[in-house]
Every structure is written in C-alpha cells, then in structure tokens.
Amino acid sequence: MKRFVAMYLLVAACGGDPDPIAPDGPAPVQPGGPVTIAITVAGQPRANVEVMFQNADSVVVAQTVTDAEGSASGNVEAGGYVTVIEPRPQAGSRDRLSTFAGVQPGDALRLELDPPAPVVQPETFLLKINLDPDGAGHIVETSCGRADSPGVVDPEEVTLFGCQGTADILVVSVDDTGEIFHSHFHRAQDLDPNTPVDLSSGVYAAFEPSTVTFDALPADTSFVGVYRAIKTTRGVVFDVSGGATASSRTATINLPTEFDQRDVLLTSSTPFPPPGAFGQHTLIEWDPIVSTDYTLRVADNQVLPFTSQPTYDPASRTASWTEGALGQAPNYVQVSLNIFRDDIPEGRGWDWRMVAPRDGTSYVFPTLPPDASDFELNVIDGDVSTVTGLTTAKLPAGYDDKVVRERAFGDVKAQIEGESGQLVIQTLADLEPTEPGL
C-alpha cells in the first residue's frame, strides 16, 4: 500500500499556519470491482461466516464475515477467488471450504448450505376416472405428482402439491404384471375444490414402443441405463427407466402417444464403464416431441474422458488429471480435496472443494491466509491430502454465463430448462453417477 507522507514547510518569521503540499497526481485507482456473496443455511441468511476474497495471484483483498443478511463483499480482479469457511452443521463434524474460482467484478455469488425443501401448497379436489376393461389396475400421473386413489364410480378426494390450480393429467392402466398398458391424457385441468375433475369419458390408447439406439459406445461398456421423461409446460407428466446391453446397443421404451410438439421428451443415458475405469458419464438431451425414437453417438457427445485418477501436489497447490482426445471439451469443473493433519492433542480434518471454468486438466487452489482462529488452512508438510471428487461438465449456457458462474455450487441439473438442450456430466467412476431431474 502506498503511503503518502504530508510534508510541511515551517514558516519561521511570521509564525503562520503551514500549507500542505499536495501529492503529485490523482489518488491511485483500485483495480477490479466489487464481488458479493450471499450465504444461506436452510434458506435463511447466515451471519458471521468467514469469507476470503483474493485476486488470481492469491493476494488477499478482503477477509471478513457475513453480515446479518448473510452477505459479504470484496474488491476482486477478474479471475480471482472467493472462499467460504462453511459453518459446521454440528459439533465435531469436519470443516469444509468452498472456493469459487474465475470470479468476475460485479458477480453476486450465492452459496446455499443445506438447501430447504421447496415450499409447495397442497391442493385437494375430487377426481373420477374410468376403468380400462383390459387393464388390471390404474395409475394417475400429473404434472405435479401422482394422484392416489381416484374414484372410478364416484369422484374421490385426492391431494396434489404445487399445481398452482392447474394440472396436466395422464391416466394409465397396467396389466396383471404391473406393466404400463394403456393411457389417456388431459391437458390443463382446473383443480377447483368445488368442481369434480371428471375424466371418465377418456378413451384408452395403447402405449407404443420407442427405440433408443447407441452408437460409438466406449470400449468395454457393459450396459447403458436409460431414463426418459415427458414434460409439458407444467412439469413432468410421465417418466420411465430401461436399459440397453452393450451387445444390442438398443433399448425399447414404451411411451404414451397423446403428446405432441408442445411437449418435451428428455432422454438421459448412463453408460456403465468396466471395473478400473476412471470416469462415468451421464448424457442428457431434451427436445420437443416430433419422434420418440432416439439415437446417440456416445463417444462424440461425451466430454473428454478421464484417463487417470486425479492427484494433488501440495507444493504447487495443484490438482491434476489426464483426459482422452475423443469427445467434447467441458466448460465446468469441480474438484474436491480431503485433508487431514495429525496434531496434538488431536488431529483435524477438513474438506475443500473448488469450482472453476474448465480450461485444462490442472487447477491451482489459492494460498489462503490463516482463518480467524489462526489455523493454517493450506496443505503443509505432514498433511495427508487426497482428491475425493472430480466432476467435469458441458453446461448448455457455459460457465461464463453470469447466472451459472454466480451459482456454480448449485445443482447442475437446474440447467435442464427450455425446449431443447444438452447437458453432459462426468464424475469419477467410483462415485455415484449424477441422476437427471427436472
């Protein structure tokens, strides 16, 4: 920091007040710009959470705590870091650090700890359906959940959640083995508690098979899990799972036929790798319904596959791994460390995760200052550090999208929106694969 020393000329004879000499030039302009972060726990602002704001060279520009509104801010240059020391959820639990990398001046970051369940209002109404003479049972799926025990002679009371007064309803019959059989669909039904919803005039139509075909499967793939969902403007009305063996490369999925281009068909594919593989992919695509058949060239649409386990070098503070050459370049990466320090009277462990725009296969963690208790958070000699998580993804909007960057620790499945798109996620193969959702 520059220090300006005021120099004064002493006026001898007159004894007058000294005149200050102004420093040359204007005051220096601080580089970068303001970055804020809002932290919530179970949906409520969390005060007194320690936050560190750093430039890309790890120079600390602010080390502070969140205010009563759960907010903190610092003046950060482009490409800097913001690290949060998360509050322990309970006594004796491990510490966790969360670092946003690649932040930009003007970012308004958000970190939701223990996100609350959505608050949805129950909606109770009367519902009547008709029996399928060829069916053995019935299921009622809606754009806001399954309706249990509808009436088949007289309307019966059912309760759904979060419909906001209107629902798309699919009545499904099943055969004596429980397999889906026939259906009829009703769009935009008003859920008036005083007026029964009568669907008893619906005409049952048979489900039709759709074919899901996989080309260019990675070597030694044993099985491909398939999930398909039909989504109207109000939500998912129908979903089903299946799979394809590597030898057939084809899955047959039965779907209802009453939907059209107003609706979206999502297909999520998870090729299961052989033992010893390093990465596992989930490839999700969604488009307006024109045809229910679907073909995916996996090798072309996967992100660049992991070809080694990730490692962490404490000396350079760098997590790194290797990737193959076939596939799309991802635009998002999240890497997690597990750190343990043996100490007296007892050891201490903590987790450190970082999100960043993907621009290679090695990522430098910032050098952190000691925390408020003067604990050294960086990995030092004698510590045991392990990479416990690695995710790369091709996000539809990309990491440079302001909303994506500001919510980079949020659920990447929130990117499944709009009429069409593709989301590809790769995790370490020994971790649970990411499941799709809408």
Asked if residue 182 belongs to a domain, the reply is yes
Same domain, residue pair 254 and 235: yes
Same domain, residue pair 73 and 176: no
Same domain, residue pair 279 and 384: yes
What are the distances in angstroms from CA 91 to CA 14, 26, 200, 350, 424?
70, 51, 57, 14, 37
Same domain, residue pair 295 and 247: yes
Asked if residue 200 belongs to a domain, the reply is yes
Asked if residue 66 belongs to a domain, the reply is yes
Cα angle 224, 230, 232; round to 5: 155
Evaluate the CA torsion angle 26, 31, 33, 37 in order and state its sign: negative
Same domain, residue pair 198 and 230: no
The Cα–Cα gap between 182 and 178 comes to: 12
Residues, the chain, total?
438
Asked if residue 348 belongs to a domain, the reply is yes
Asked if residue 5 belongs to a domain, the reply is no
| Of 358, 349, 351, residue with least CA distance to 321 | 358
CATH of the domain at 94: 2.60.40.1120
| pLDDT per residue of the chain (438 residues) written in tens, 0 to 9 | 333 333 332 333 334 444 444 445 554 555 789 999 999 988 899 999 999 999 999 999 999 999 999 999 999 999 999 999 998 766 666 889 999 999 999 999 999 987 777 778 899 999 999 999 999 999 999 999 999 888 898 999 999 999 999 999 999 999 999 999 999 999 999 999 999 999 999 999 999 999 999 999 988 898 999 999 999 999 999 999 999 998 889 999 999 999 999 999 999 999 998 888 999 999 999 999 999 999 999 999 999 999 999 999 999 999 999 999 999 999 999 999 999 999 877 888 999 999 999 999 999 999 999 998 899 999 999 999 999 999 999 999 999 899 899 999 988 888 898 899 999 999 998 654 444 444
Same domain, residue pair 315 and 333: yes
Do 167 and 189 contact (CB within 8 A), yes or no? yes
Same domain, residue pair 329 and 344: yes
Matching residue, tokens 């059912």: 158
Cα angle 139, 144, 149; round to 5: 35
Residue that finishes a domain, picked among 93, 113, 133: 113
Residues 6+ apart with CB under 8 A from 57: none
Segment (H or E) for 297: strand 294-297
Do 215 and 297 contact (CB within 8 A), yes or no? yes
Same domain, residue pair 188 and 307: no
| Of 424, 420, 269, residue with least CA distance to 358 | 424
Whole-prediction pTM value? 0.86
Residue that finishes a domain, picked among 175, 206, 237: 206
**Structure confidence at residue 91 (pLDDT):** 63
Give Cα 244 to chain centroid, integer Å.
Answer: 27
Asked if residue 260 belongs to a domain, the reply is yes
Range(s) of the domain holding residue 187? 122-206
What are the distances in angstroms from CA 131 to CA 8, 156, 351?
99, 14, 55
**Count: domains in the chain:** 3
CA atoms within 13 A on the CB side of 435: 5
Asked if residue 12 belongs to a domain, the reply is no
Could you tell me whether strands 137-142 and 421-428 are parallel, antiparallel, or unpaired per DSSP bridges? unpaired
Report CA Rg, the chain.
29
Same domain, residue pair 52 and 138: no
Asked if residue 191 belongs to a domain, the reply is yes
Residues 6+ apart with CB under 8 A from 378: 317, 367, 368
Matching residue, tokens 């509050």: 87
The DSSP secondary-structure symbol of 412 reads: G
Give Cα 376 to chain centroid, integer Å.
Answer: 30
Do 170 and 140 contact (CB within 8 A), yes or no? yes
Residue that finishes a domain, picked among 113, 135, 150: 113
The Cα–Cα gap between 167 and 186 comes to: 9
Same domain, residue pair 81 and 166: no
| Of 358, 354, 308, residue with least CA distance to 329 | 358
The Cα–Cα gap between 100 and 356 comes to: 7
Same domain, residue pair 350 and 383: yes
DSSP string, 199-212: ETTPPPEE-EEEEE
Same domain, residue pair 392 and 302: yes
